[in-house]
Structure 1
Amino acid sequence: MENLNYWEFIAGLGIFLLGMHQMESGLKELAGKSFRTLLQKFTNKSWKGILTGTFITSILQSSSLVTLMVLAFLGAGLISLQNSIGVILGANLGTTVTAWIVATLGFKISISSFSLPFIGIGALFYQFFSKRIYLKNFGLLLLGFGFLFFGIDLMKTSIELLAQKMELSQFAEVRLIFFLGLGIVLTALIQSSSASLVILLSALNSDVITLDQAAAATVGANIGTTITVIMGAIGGTPDKKRLASVHFIFNFCTGILIFPFIPYFITVLENSRIGGDHLILLVVFNTLMNLAGIIIFFPFLGFLRSWINQRFKTKKISLTSFIHNVDTSVPEAAIKAVEKELDSVFDRTKFFIKETLGIEAKAGEHESIWQKVLGRSFELIHVYNEIKEIEDEITEYHIKIQSEPISEVEARHLSSLMESLRSMVYSAKAMKGITQNIKELESAERNLPKKFLLRIQDHAKVLFEQIEKLRLEEKENREVPQWLQQLQYQDQIFMEDLYKEAKSHQTDIPFSTLSNVGNEYCRSLYSLGVAVLHWQHPKTESSNLDQPK
């Protein structure tokens, strides 16, 4: 294989993968919310999940992205295991659209000349409309589409040069099992069944491999793509592991059932009306394989769900650290354990608020894969759920303490601690309600909503300093600080200033959304401040610490 231009081939593969990533990013930003809504609302039946998975994947052109989306929804409790299985099966069928586009266009025309206008226009849009979110993402979409076909052209050219110099008969006797393994390894390495299929189409187009060998490698690629879901499920919830197992079982069993009959299927396809074009035949084989898998498995989905639900059962891990080690028969020690648990709740609540507001890092920095794929809200939902779980554990422990003989002073102290816990949960809940609104402000095109969010972020930084200061003070009967009292009316101040600025600035975000953000932000920070007062200063009179109206 000394005649293969390795660097041209590797560059082509890299540009192709980059193009797919750019297309995913552009489509996710242009219609990400719509797809998230689609996943949530139209997967209540297995057949609906299959259709939804097929549709979304055919648009996003990436089964890997869709499977990561489904895993994140499943982990966040926003979609059931039953519904997510259907989406995963549909994603397998939807990803064949990429192969159809490549087979019908990629090898029929001058790809480089076809791709250059998309790259040029897309790059110009992305560069000159960087402040216009929709135009910028549309440019990213065009850029990705152009890169995708330019990468195909480089891979096709390098493989054609190889085919002209090598003796092709040396592959004639290679067993199909070798190509099955090749497809598995190749897809596992590059994490894209679409890229693997493009490589196979290029090799088939240049007659480096035969149609049945390409079909065997396609079966392997279908199995290898399950590695993406398996990696995404490592260390995850039992449901994530169950979904990864179902995906592997489906693709593996489908492949094993079809593999022995590949020569027969290829003969039938070659004798059909479309038998003259091997590229189209390979794509047809890939589509029929995934469709056949769905038809075969669909009647057994109920049994498969029941069976898989018995797997990966794990003992629930307690999120509390102290209360389970202290017997309630010693009320003084038990109350102290509750007090220590509030440290964890406070830290989680503070983290949740800061991350939701985006004041820990600049936009786009230090984002995890889940933040890039789905946005902050779906990652942070885990933090909120943990706060709720800790609340349940402490409440259950509180009931046990109350069954013990405790003094009046201990009862008041315990009541104050529970009031603090409830206030922290109120704080997190108020912030959770505006998570999506915050994302809308972050992606706004007008300066007015952006400045509004910036003002809230700056205000929050100052408030967190005040809250930490209050937390460390040792005074008893602490009076309610002036800054905390003012928070009850701060949202009105925000809106008055906003209306003044609106006289000279436009907004692309409704004022009702801005008002809701200001109101719930003030409610959240006020509740957190109240929580610290109850927690650190249990003798503080709480009659004037009601929730803001």
Structure 2
Amino acid sequence: MQILLQIFTFLGGFGMFVYGMNTMADGLQKAAGSKLKELLNLLTKNKFLGVIIGALITALIQSSSATTVMVVGFVNAGLMNLSQVVGVIMGANIGTTITAWIVSSSEWFEVLNPENLAPLAIGLGAILIFFTKSEKKKLIGEVIVGFGLIFIGLDFMKNVITPYRDSEIFKDAFVLLGRNAFLGVLAGALVTAVVQSSSASVGILQTLAMSGLVPMNAAIYIILGQNIGTTVTAMLSSVGASKNGKRAAMIHLLFNVVGSVIFVIGTIIFFAFIRPDLGSDLISGSEISLFHTSFNIINTVMLYPFSGLLVKVAEKLIPGQEKEELEVALVHLDDRILESPSFAIQSAIKEISNMGEYILGSLRYATQALIEKKEEYVAENAKRRENTDRYYQLITQFLVKIGNLSISEQQKMVVNDLFSAAIDLESIGDHANDISDNVGEAAKIEANFSESAIEDITIMFEKIEEIVELALKLRETNIYSYIAKIEDLEEEIDELEEQIRAEHTERLISGVCDIRLSILFLDTVSHLERISDHALKMAYCVKEEILN
């Protein structure tokens, strides 16, 4: 019964440790929401910047597995290419070591011991969460509570393990793992693959080390195995991904396996011929942190020059060309990106912009069909209608998934505005379809628009094209100066509509225009004007986000 109780206590401590990690990471992600969006934009710059950003992102979300899963999603979504992936993966391996340093911090100062710090942290965090109105303070509270839970979880696990410090079973097991590098690496890989978090498995190892149970050689082999085991999550997530998505996961596996194998060979030689006495020395939690970080930095420095080779090997191992996608394929909406709500929102914004460009293309076809009397443009627009509906359906489904995540109030506002933008864009698509239908009606009448009427539609369409493009740029960039331009353009379009209607009436009276086409002409002008209203509505949503 006592053993069963200890197992439950250890599992409870481990659960609290992992939950604390996730709580702290969630708080950090929400607090850094807009900054993470900027980091995503920087990912396209160069590989070295990718290393830094990969480390920063992973330090925030405290999981290299989660970062790599997102990377697979980014590649699958077409947001990143394989060359950029390598740097981010290398950086992720460095960033994930931050958790180990947090765990080992209790060895540095007495005040950081769990019994001293954790209750205070949780109490302070709870006060910020429940008794403050500021969202930023609530998020800080989440981070502090998560920090406290990490230490309480560690304390639970440590209290269970400490009585077994002198146990021969533990000693013999670690001696075996230290003497047999293969078994040590295998143990680390298996545990990490099961818990799907190298940070969590390193935390368990540190807890054992802080109880005086782990020799140095066993710890090193286990850490190197953990480095391999952490790739399982990304490999599993790549199932069903594109060829390049699978290659991204393969690059992660290659990088970690190659680095671990080189270090295993090096440490075997070191412990066998250079310092055999060090292998049996007990290792501390801080020394595990130091080795974990040093290994990942050295591995990055060592393999960074060969990043191009890693890409080529991944392409050889996963051969073949990408299948051609339907033009409307929603490449940016990959569920793997939901690992980070900030990135998921940015991907949704990107796809809203793509949807807008696609619908703007439909509007161009419709207007050109009317002006140039080309029936093939009408046929093309008929094909695009289904794609527009598919765009709307999948974008809104993805936004629902984001809405169900743990996101901040500001992020909720953005998600709601993206729903609104999707509705506005679908409405613009409907207006384009109605204009396209007018072409068919005009063909039945067998009459032609006057040159003045065509000129009016052309001028108005150019204004509409400009305002929609500005609204899409504003949605993607949040550049405040675009709002005033959109407002001015919308007023200009309203005035232009009134002017066109008045001039059209004069042409009807003078007999320049065919009265049979009058309704179709005015209907087209009305559709174009209402499109500008939708663009203005999108702009005002972004304006509210910026001002908040």
TM range (shorter): 0.5 to 0.7
Within-5 A mapping of 1:108-187:
109=110, 110-129=113-132, 132-164=134-166, 167-171=169-173, 172-174=175-177, 175-187=180-192
Identify if the C-alpha distance between structure 1 residues 459 and 231 changes in structure 2 by more than 3 Å, giving closer, same or farther.
Answer: closer
Establish whether residue 295 from structure 1 lines up as the match of residue 285 from structure 2: no
Q: CA deviation at 1:164?
A: 4.7
Question: Separation in 2 of the partners of 1:206 and 1:179?
Answer: 19
Identify which of 362, 372, 386 aligns with 2:341: 372
CA contact (8 A) 1:54 1:94 kept: yes
Establish whether residue 73 from structure 1 lines up as the match of residue 74 from structure 2: yes
Identify if the C-alpha distance between structure 1 residues 244 and 459 changes in structure 2 by more than 3 Å, giving closer, same or farther.
Answer: closer
Unaligned runs of 5+ in 2: 443-462, 465-477, 491-518, 533-548
CA contact (8 A) 2:51 2:87 kept: yes
- The equivalent residue for 2:320 is 313
- The equivalent residue for 2:378 is 416
Greater Cα shift, 95-104 or 161-170: 161-170
Question: Separation in 2 of the partners of 1:452 and 1:392?
Answer: 25
Establish whether residue 280 from structure 1 lines up as the match of residue 286 from structure 2: yes
Identify if the C-alpha distance between structure 1 residues 106 and 77 changes in structure 2 by more than 3 Å, giving closer, same or farther.
Answer: farther
- The equivalent residue for 2:502 is none
Identify if the C-alpha distance between structure 1 residues 211 and 453 changes in structure 2 by more than 3 Å, giving closer, same or farther.
Answer: closer
CA contact (8 A) 2:214 2:283 kept: no
Q: 1:145 corresponds to which letter in structure 2?
A: F
Q: CA deviation at 1:450?
A: 6.4
Identify if the C-alpha distance between structure 1 residues 50 and 266 changes in structure 2 by more than 3 Å, giving closer, same or farther.
Answer: farther
Within-5 A mapping of 1:28-43:
28-41=29-42
- The equivalent residue for 1:57 is 58
Q: 1:74 corresponds to which letter in structure 2?
A: V
Establish whether residue 9 from structure 1 lines up as the match of residue 10 from structure 2: yes
CA contact (8 A) 1:43 1:84 kept: no
Establish whether residue 216 from structure 1 lines up as the match of residue 221 from structure 2: yes
- The equivalent residue for 2:22 is 21
Q: Could you give the per-residue CA deviations for residues 84-137 of structure 1, whole angstroms, max 9, x where no partner exists?
A: 2111111112222221232232586431321111111212222334x5321221
Identify which of 258, 269, 293 aligns with 1:253: 258
Q: Could you give the per-residue CA deviations for residues 168-192 of structure 1, whole angstroms, max 9, x where no partner exists?
A: 4432345332221111111111111
Identify if the C-alpha distance between structure 1 residues 263 and 202 changes in structure 2 by more than 3 Å, giving closer, same or farther.
Answer: farther
Q: 2:152 corresponds to which letter in structure 1?
A: F
Q: 2:143 corresponds to which letter in structure 1?
A: L
Identify if the C-alpha distance between structure 1 residues 515 and 379 changes in structure 2 by more than 3 Å, giving closer, same or farther.
Answer: same
Question: Separation in 2 of the partners of 1:103 and 1:142?
Answer: 17
Greater Cα shift, 157-166 or 221-230: 157-166
- The equivalent residue for 2:453 is none
Count how many residue pairs are aligned between Structure 1 and Structure 2. 439
CA contact (8 A) 1:50 1:87 kept: yes
Question: Separation in 1 of the partners of 2:219 and 2:109?
Answer: 19
Identify if the C-alpha distance between structure 1 residues 148 and 519 changes in structure 2 by more than 3 Å, giving closer, same or farther.
Answer: farther
Q: Could you give the per-residue CA deviations for residues 14-39 of structure 1, whole angstroms, max 9, x where no partner exists?
A: 11111111111111111132133224
Identify which of 224, 239, 243 aligns with 1:238: 243
Q: 1:301 corresponds to which letter in structure 2?
A: S
CA contact (8 A) 1:4 1:161 kept: no
Q: 1:313 corresponds to which letter in structure 2?
A: G
Higher relative contact order (CA 8 A, sep 6+): 2
SS in 2 for 1:546: helix
Establish whether residue 191 from structure 1 lines up as the match of residue 153 from structure 2: no
Q: Could you give the per-residue CA deviations for residues 515-542 of structure 1, whole angstroms, max 9, x where no partner exists?
A: 8999999xxxxxxxxxxxxxxxxx9656
Question: Separation in 1 of the partners of 2:324 and 2:210?
Answer: 54
Q: 2:294 corresponds to which letter in structure 1?
A: L
Question: Separation in 2 of the partners of 1:546 and 1:420?
Answer: 19
Q: Work out the percentage of aligned pairs sharing the same amino acid.
A: 24
CA contact (8 A) 1:93 1:291 kept: yes
Question: Separation in 1 of the partners of 2:185 and 2:269?
Answer: 16
Q: 1:253 corresponds to which letter in structure 2?
A: V
Question: Separation in 2 of the partners of 1:389 and 1:375?
Answer: 21
What value does the CA root-mean-square deviation take over the aligned residues?
5.3
Unaligned runs of 5+ in 1: 321-344, 356-365, 397-401, 403-407, 479-487, 490-508, 522-538
Q: Could you give the per-residue CA deviations for residues 372-412 of structure 1, whole angstroms, max 9, x where no partner exists?
A: 3623341575687689799999x99xxxxx9xxxxx9xx86
Greater Cα shift, 451-460 or 180-189: 451-460
Q: 1:128 corresponds to which letter in structure 2?
A: F
Question: Separation in 1 of the partners of 2:487 and 2:304?
Answer: 49
Question: Separation in 2 of the partners of 1:98 and 1:15?
Answer: 14
- What is the TM-score with the length of structure 2 in the denominator? 0.64
CA contact (8 A) 1:62 1:95 kept: yes
Q: Could you give the per-residue CA deviations for residues 34-76 of structure 1, whole angstroms, max 9, x where no partner exists?
A: 1332243255332222233223333443223322333333333
Q: CA deviation at 1:5?
A: 1.1
Q: 2:124 corresponds to which letter in structure 1?
A: I
SS in 2 for 1:209: coil
Q: CA deviation at 1:279?
A: 3.0
Question: Separation in 2 of the partners of 1:149 and 1:451?
Answer: 35
Give the number of the structure whose residues are more often helix, by fraction: 2
Question: Separation in 1 of the partners of 2:421 and 2:80?
Answer: 36
Greater Cα shift, 46-55 or 8-17: 46-55
Establish whether residue 546 from structure 1 lines up as the match of residue 547 from structure 2: no
- The equivalent residue for 1:485 is none
Q: 1:372 corresponds to which letter in structure 2?
A: P
Within-5 A mapping of 1:389-538:
413-419=375-381
